[in-house]
């Protein structure tokens, strides 16, 4: 629709017979809003899916590390050299706990200076596969009887 000055007016409706229509600006604004909202929704979904996968890996790693530590507590003489610091991989030791696929655990056993019968066990669990490497650390303490 041409105005008196010869330009187009996109903000004015065409007339009383066509009052139910939308102007071009209204359509463009609504399309931009739909685009922005759909982008936000897709971003939230993708972040949620990534977090869900990450928390599953973390839960598996913590359960595996806790199982290794409990096995060490049950039979400490099998894994600890009295008075010495040692490091070893879980594959090298004869743990009864089966290793989950894709995970590797490295253990460091260190005697505590203040209590020689208490050993600090640090467990580092890493993933061996996938495109994003990660690691999980656990700390525990094991008592080795001095009489043994």
For residue 4, what pLDDT is reported? 60
Residues of the chain with pLDDT under 70: 1-20, 129-130, 146-148
Identify the pLDDT of residue 36: 95
The dihedrals phi and psi of 97, each to the nearest 5 degrees, come to: -70, 130
Alpha carbons 137 and 106: distance in angstroms, whole number? 10
SS3 state of residue 124 = strand
Class of residue 47 by CB neighbours under 10 A (exposed 0-12, middle 13-18, buried 19+)? exposed
Strand residue runs (E) in the chain:
86-89, 103-111, 118-127, 135-143
CB atoms within 10 A of CB 86: 13
What's the pLDDT at 59? Answer: 87
Beta strand 118-127 pairing with 103-111 = antiparallel
pLDDT of residue 48: 86
Which sequence spans correspond to the domains of the chain?
16-143
What is the model's pLDDT at position 17? 53
Q: What is the pLDDT of residue 145?
A: 81
What pLDDT does 89 receive? 93
Contact (Cβ atoms closer than 8 angstroms) between residue 134 and residue 57: yes
From CA 102, how far away is CA 45, in angstroms rounded?
Answer: 26
CB 90 within 8 A of CB 104: yes
The three-state secondary structure class of 87 is: strand
pLDDT tens digits, one per residue of 39-80:
999 999 988 887 777 777 888 889 999 999 999 999 999 899
């Amino acid at each position: 629709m041409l105005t008196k000055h010869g330009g187009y007016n996109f903000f004015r409706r065409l007339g009383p017979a066509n009052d139910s229509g939308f102007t071009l600006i209204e359509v463009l604004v609504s399309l931009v809003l739909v685009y922005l909202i759909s982008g936000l929704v897709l971003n939230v979904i993708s972040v949620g899916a990534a977090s869900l996968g990450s928390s599953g890996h973390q839960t598996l790693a913590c359960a595996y590390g806790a199982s290794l530590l409990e096995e060490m507590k049950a039979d400490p003489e099998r894994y600890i050299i009295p008075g010495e610091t040692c490091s070893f991989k879980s594959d090298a030791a004869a743990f009864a706990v089966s290793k989950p696929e894709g995970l590797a655990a490295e253990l460091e056993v260190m005697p505590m200076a203040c209590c020689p019968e208490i050993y600090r066990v640090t467990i580092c669990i890493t993933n061996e596969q996938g495109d994003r490497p990660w690691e999980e650390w656990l700390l525990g303490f094991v008592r080795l009887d001095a009489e043994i």
